[in-house]
Structure 1
């Protein structure tokens, strides 16, 4: 099975954190978002992952090498494709046309999920969905009495369904999807200037392919700072029984309230950390209170009272009690 990961977006809602790193590589409980996403898909698929195809912008060789390493950790090969223009979801996936054959999962890398189903890999297509309170903000599906998807409706203003499409799709034969994407591009079938994946799905359904839902337990957004901090909290809760604290931690008169992720060579001195804190490698916390926060690597917090915050790499925070959302190499 192959996984196609469109992730060329600029991540503007996550600035300043995405000024130096693509959003899918922001760490959640110590692992990049895209790595956690791929690991969960691998669990649900029940099959070996042969290839992971990333569709990226001009992110540079360091990012590309990191993505290849993530694929290697799943015993998969990595392919890198580029989306030079933001022309919609269908266009993004088509950039990886050479990898669209056989069993394929397409997963947009700005969301995480938890599921207890095993993928029905004999279905023509499985669309991951989750019940939401306000369907008008999402693309949703309609189903018949046999649990088959009959319609895809984008941001309905009147209620038709509360099952929102979360941005993960399975196709038994990626060649069918490839053909429909090519049709959209060849005929310049755009909506608001963009090529839409839902149009390709509709065409496939009209040709007799069967679509069924795969309903997840939880769908976690990483679209902005508050949502990402909340997702970090949920992931820590899911993994609270795992080993999350590195043996290299130096704890000097500190209290750690689990669950927390603490990376390598972290020093915590005269402080209370947790719950729901992720501390990256080589960070220092002293004389501080830190809760519900993502702190990346080589960051120093001194005399602070920090909560509901995201701090980048090489940040220094001294003597403040507030919420933060600051990027790399910042002094506060």
Structure 2
């Protein structure tokens, strides 16, 4: 989707992780959703030793409601180079308007994060839940996360321990070149909306279900991923209602080409597509994210209904419909 040129971007919601790398996995054990030779996209990392109810395990609270004018809920620290010499942070800092988001991938990330978080901040209170901000950390190569080392080989993921989304700066190029997704804006925006879908699951206390059954075409892991796809579709349906801190609408109306691009990205990261490309055969018993068909279906379900109740993948009898 295209941003309105005059929309103002809030860079406080995106921070640099530099390229510092990190140590091993965090204590407590990590279940990784997905993984084909380290090349899987959209990896969900769930630290089940932590709190999966959406509250801060240290504070015992659920955090503050989202306020587009309040930057106190966002980590402003930079894990990269100090003194303004971090190129990732420099790229983030130059993102000012929707016009920037339309021509630059980093700025598109900033604008998408702004829009997705505004959307859920308006939607969740209808069901008695307050949305809490989760920053996106952009990095080159590798960086440290609350769930261990984040690396470019892992693809984007949400870490429930530190409540952050992690994204390597080179990922969108690989989404097109390695996995064959369309290169349109919504193909990129869908990826971020999916990861924020995991954050919403975290807030709702649903994320831990992935641990109950981690592999298989009908597994809880697959159902968790497909629900995040459905949540991404919900955002797309109402993305044009999202606004910046000044009340300007962030995005222009979605087009059919936008939807085609999003469906292309959803199919590209289907377990069957990735397995066929990586190993020359499809093994549904090891699936963690769902088939290309299922991922497209649940994204479309969210997009056409805009109803979180229609995203109940856990009770669905046929995930491919």
TM band (smaller chain): under 0.3
Higher relative contact order structure (alpha carbons within 8 Å, sequence separation ≥ 6): 2
Question: Of the two, which has the highest radius of gyration?
Answer: 1
Taking structure 1 as the reference length, the TM-score comes to 0.26
* Structure with greater strand percent: 1
Taking structure 2 as the reference length, the TM-score comes to 0.26
